[in-house]
Structure 1
Amino acid sequence: MFKKLRNRFLILNLVIISIMMILSFTSIYLITYKNVRNDINMELNRLSDFNRKPKNHPIEPDLYNNNEKPPVERSISFIVTIDNNKNLTNYFSIFDMDENFYKTVKDTALSKGSNNGRFKLEDTYWEFILQKLPDNSGYRIVFLDVTSRYAYLTNLIYTFSTVALVMLVAIFFISRFFANKSIKPIKETFDRQKQFIADASHELKTPLTVINTNAEVLLSNDEDTIKNQSKWIYLIKSEVERMTKLTNDLLYLAQVDHSDIKLIFTNFDLSEAIENIVLTMEASIFENNILLDYDIEPDIIAYGNSEQIKQVVMILLDNALKYTNPQGKISLSFKKCNTKAVLTVCNTGKGISKDHLDKIFDRFYRVDKSRSKSSGGYGLGLSIARAIVEQHKGKISVKSNINEDTIFTVELPPVENTLLK
């Protein structure tokens, strides 16, 4: 699908560029052609404007006025005169040519039936202009060799064609490179979306299966009392609660993706908010024989949504509790570093390998998939934490030392400016 999309993009891009190149080159060619035509007409008129008497020898100086000079010859030119019966009467050229040549070009020009035109004779292009003699005794025909000028126009076409071909080839490879770069994030998003749907379906399938099984057990004992069958009812209720949490998390992530969540941001005491969450989690941590050590710098004010930030702290502490080794330790630190508020949550344990670190914030991703059911998690917590931190223009990261510890770090925006908002 994405290959077809890329190819369509390339074809569309090449078509648009080709059209633009054709229009540009055509405009340049037409302007150049017009200039060449004007140059030819100007030279023909300049040649015909000289009041000279055709002879069989070069022009004599006394045929011009004192201030008049012959035109600068940029190409071969000559003049022939004919009578009213169109018979050759005389010719003039600074070059020595055979009389039959003059008759041939005269006949060819007259055959055009026009006062001006162009024809080809022995690989040479000639332009001519036919004018009535002042004494009405005949006509004067001025000929000009324009082979070089039209060769220039032909070379211009070849040059444009070559340049266009080279440019299209270059543009094709450049466009393909940028098309691949542009489509890559779209493809990654699409793949993540597919994986997201597949994982969500898988996670929903398990509790639905449990609910269905327990419901069948209840139906098979329809004559028994509710009290005797309460075990199955509680199992159904537990799975419904798990599904409710999962759907709420999925809904939240979907809203984040589409920027549908409009949070109310205010200035609040972030130090106090974090301390409240730590006190809430303290009992659960001690029940698991895990040591909790925390250092919270007081009176750090932040700008944001206090409930969302509390959820981030809760997720990080809950994650640390799940993966801390027995008799291990959880350390929490919250301090003001330069202009940022920095929260770190560290837990001892087997750590996370480098292969998993880049994916730890992906949805439904779990390092130890075998623990997902017992721990009650779906692998959405860290994804939600990252979404909340990014909504607050902050940054969340993780680093880990194998068989030692794992450290999550949250950096929130400059603290000094929060009171000004």
Structure 2
Amino acid sequence: MELKRVVVTGLGALTPIGNTKDEYWDGLISGKSGAAPITYYDTEKFKTKFACELKNFTVTDFIDRKESRKMDKFAQYAMVAADEAILDSKLDLETVNKLRVGVIWGAGIGGLETFQQEVLNFADGDGTPRFNPFFIPKMIADIAPGNISIKHGFMGPNYTTVSACASSANAMFDALNSIRLGHCDVVVTGGSEAAVTIAGMGGFNAMHALSTRNESPETASRPFDGTRDGFVLGEGAGALILEEYEHAKARGAKIYAEFIGGGLSSDAYHMTAPHPDGIGVIAVMKNCLENAGLKPEDVDHINTHGTSTPLGDVAELKAISEIFGSHAKNININSTKSMTGHLLGAAGAIEAISVILAMENGIVPPTINHSTVDENIDPELNLTLNKAQKRDVKVAMSNTFGFGGHNACVLFKKID
């Protein structure tokens, strides 16, 4: 069967550097850091005392107070980003066939704060299990797309993909295939996460995964820098409206880009560490290019997973050099995690939005906070260091990898 073409017609973003798609983009191209001291709890006894929290965000500006109390933060963030994307798409909710509109979402953890609080409340009590009746529905990772579909009446496929930090990229690839194969006309996709909690920070600190640059939080996320010491935890959500091309064209929709392919692979190596030779990463980029029907030399821009960890950054760049060969030096490579921090299950979504907006605006956001050369990184690679660079981006790739060896890669192209 002939696969249907899939395009992006709406975007929504709620991030540590901007609470809307436009604010997020302005933050990216200006090289804004979202890292700051944590405000949600007392960090005195924690190794890491900073994160990339949302700024100036009040959920009741978007969701009724009574309804918001039934949702964990990760689900609240999903609702806000999805609503922005739906509005941006100008989709007519009165006439669209809602049986053919799906919601496929990504979350690596789900309602961590809800789980944490309910367990702490029980531990502080007398042993009587007085749990909130909304405890389970607030906590489960699949509740975010459930809430989106309930609000808008979307009755197509509805589920969450969970593959750690690759979750929302996995969701986007599933959404792409749902439309390609004719199962849906429209899919709301993306991801959300809200893990800046005592359990989240404490757990990642115990793994020695987080930066401890407490004296200078805003410079702590420094992908590819020789002094990087771990990632910075972020929170938020990204949403994309994917639509079958003829369906979008028939209603005169604005088309941001064509979603032309994706790939998945596994490192099959270690619970948390990447394969040092980037074998799984090589495989996922190769899979993605083949799925899209493109050659390596077609790619202009790659938003890397680039978390600012000593092992991961080097392995990914080695893999890029392996796949793209001499063309690698012609690609604008960057890591927007240098600004947003690592949004875990939401990372793939907000980074896909970044590459789409780079295509639309002809400018690639920078990798900020770079000051020290890493001798293990090829100096000929253009890592778009410290300042945005103008570039006519026709094809852009975004990489997202997760604990457990999960690798996902997505490709977008300027619409013909």
If the length of structure 2 is used for normalisation, what is the TM-score?
Answer: 0.23
More helix by share: 1
TM-score by length of 1: 0.23
Give the structure, 1 or 2, with the largest relative contact order (CA under 8 Å, sep 6 or more): 2
Greater CA radius of gyration, 1 or 2?
Answer: 1
